[in-house]
Amino acid sequence: MQGLLPNPIPVFKEDIPTPALVVNLDLFERNLQKMADYLNQRRISFRPHAKTHRCPTIARKQVALGAAGICVAKLGEAEVMAASGITNILITSEIVGKSKIKRFIELAARCPSLMAVVDHPTAIQDLAEAANAKKTTLNLLVDIDGGNHRTGCVPGRAAVELAEMVCSSPWLRFRGLQCYAGRAAHSIGFEERKKYSRERLAEGLESKAMIEKQGIPVEIFTGGSTGTYDIDVVVQGFNELQAGSYIFMDLDYRRIGSHTGDSFMDFEYALTVLTTVISQSHVGLATVDAGFKAFSTDKPFVPELKSDPGVKFRWAGDEHGILELEDARQAIKLGDRLEFIPPHCDPTVNLYDFIYAVRGDRVEEIWPVQARGMSQ
């Protein structure tokens, strides 16, 4: 098992052992700054989703540019981020089961700003009992289904009842609502995304009004994504954005389309997988050292060669990809180091222990993906 840094530490990009995760620092910093500026100007709270990077170094950079804190999907990620000094963490997935509740309360005792979401009376009851036993205050948001039927309660009456239930426990603190319209993030076409997101947010905001009518203040209304960042933040009542992928971008996000009908290019491709051509025995083919263990494989499209999107990539098992070369053939040869844009950034990053942050031909920094694999 590797330590916190690779050994030896590469000085130049050409020394990085492949396959490797590479961030182009110029592009990454522009992405980071662009979203920060957009939200700071509009005085919208920003809580970037750290499930994208699982990397405390990046979380710190986001906070340094004004983020209020971070989101994580899982308790295991929250533990790593908190141990790295990140405070104000929201865990966006429900915490269920005795041993997880125990860990959550232990973490909350160390990090009083920690928040989690709930979507079921049983879960609230379990948390209330455990919090009471340990005399620890827990900050909770009620999670409202944003249309995916994945997590979150049904909007409306159910949300009000859950909020009331949270308020009725002396050790639980109701902080607000989470409403993530996951399908909106990846809907193709700006108008389509806008329509879908607005409908889901309207349901969530109606629940908010109903809860406030009961005299319960709703401090936080959090949700949204890279795909809806400029759609959600202008909605009255929505006050915290959870975008994650904007820092890296990926092929999936490009295809969702922009205002103008073109590709979604609001943010730049800062993340690539660096590979090496390790075999070339057949005319028109070349094999790179990166396959299912080097790229996400959950989308119906393949990695794209950054320098020449016309070269076709074909999966060739756990450790290999085959390039089908036509005109480009002469340009690619054994030993070449090629960069690919991954289909989906989050699960790609989760395969690696390090991110090599590169400027020009230099490795400027190496960022450990410390919460890699921490889905528990």
In the region spanning residues 287 to 306, those forming contacts with a copy of itself, defined by CB under 8 A, are: 287, 289-290, 292-294, 296-298
| 3-state secondary structure (DSSP) of residue 225 | coil
Among 31, 139, 151, 178, binds a copy of itself (CB under 8 A): 151
90 makes contact with a copy of itself (CB under 8 A):
no
List the beta bridge partners of residue 322: 287, 314
Query: Would you say 333 and 316 are in contact if contact means Cβ atoms under 8 Å apart?
Result: no
149 vs 362, which CB is nearer to a copy of itself? 149
351 makes contact with a copy of itself (CB under 8 A):
yes
Among 63, 145, 204, 325, binds a copy of itself (CB under 8 A): 145
Shortest distance (Å) from residue 73 CB to a copy of itself: 5
230 vs 315, which CB is nearer to a copy of itself? 315
2 makes contact with a copy of itself (CB under 8 A):
yes
Tell me: cis bond preceding 19? Omega within 30 of 0 counts: yes
42 vs 301, which CB is nearer to a copy of itself? 301
Among 29, 65, 96, 109, binds a copy of itself (CB under 8 A): 96
Tell which positions 6-45 bind a copy of itself, by CB under 8 A.
15, 17-20
Q: How many chain residues bind a copy of itself (CB under 8 A)?
A: 76
44 vs 311, which CB is nearer to a copy of itself? 311
Using alpha carbons only, how large is the chain's radius of gyration in Å? Answer: 22
73 vs 233, which CB is nearer to a copy of itself? 73
Residue type for position 194: K
Query: What is the contact mask toward a copy of itself in residues 269 to 288, using x (rule: CB under 8 A)?
Result: -------xxxxxxx--x-x-
3 vs 215, which CB is nearer to a copy of itself? 3
Instruction: Please count the other Cβ atoms lying within 10 Å of the Cβ belonging to residue 217.
Output: 10
Tell me: cis bond preceding 8? Omega within 30 of 0 counts: yes
100 vs 173, which CB is nearer to a copy of itself? 100
Among 25, 50, 67, 153, binds a copy of itself (CB under 8 A): 153
Among 76, 223, 257, 342, binds a copy of itself (CB under 8 A): 76
197 makes contact with a copy of itself (CB under 8 A):
no
200 makes contact with a copy of itself (CB under 8 A):
no
Burial of residue 156 (number of CB atoms within 10 Å: 0-12, 13-18, 19+): middle
Shortest distance (Å) from residue 41 CB to a copy of itself: 30
Q: In sequence order, what DSSP letters do the residues of 141-193 get, joined into one string? A: EEEEE-SSSSSSBPTTHHHHHHHHHHHTSTTEEEEEEEEE-HHHHH-SSHHHH
Instruction: Please count the other Cβ atoms lying within 10 Å of the Cβ belonging to residue 64.
Output: 10
105 makes contact with a copy of itself (CB under 8 A):
no
Q: Which stretch binds a copy of itself (CB under 8 A): 62-70, 134-142, 193-201, 365-373?
A: 365-373
What's the token pair of residue 67?
């983020």
Tell which positions 112-141 bind a copy of itself, by CB under 8 A.
119-120, 122-123
Half-sphere exposure of residue 269, counting CA atoms within 13 Å on the CB side? 22
Nearest to 45, CA basis, from 206, 325, 240 = 240
39 vs 107, which CB is nearer to a copy of itself? 107
Place of tokens 């009456």: 157
Among 318, 361, 364, 365, binds a copy of itself (CB under 8 A): 318
Nearest to 289, CA basis, from 17, 12, 15, 11 = 17
Tell which positions 241-260 bind a copy of itself, by CB under 8 A.
none
Tell which positions 322-341 bind a copy of itself, by CB under 8 A.
322, 334-335, 337
Shortest distance (Å) from residue 93 CB to a copy of itself: 6
- In sequence order, which ranges of 287-356 are alpha helices (DSSP H)? 345-349
Phi/psi for 248 (5° steps) reads: -110, -40
What's the token pair of residue 359?
């400027």
Q: How far apart are CA 180 and CA 148, in angstroms?
A: 9
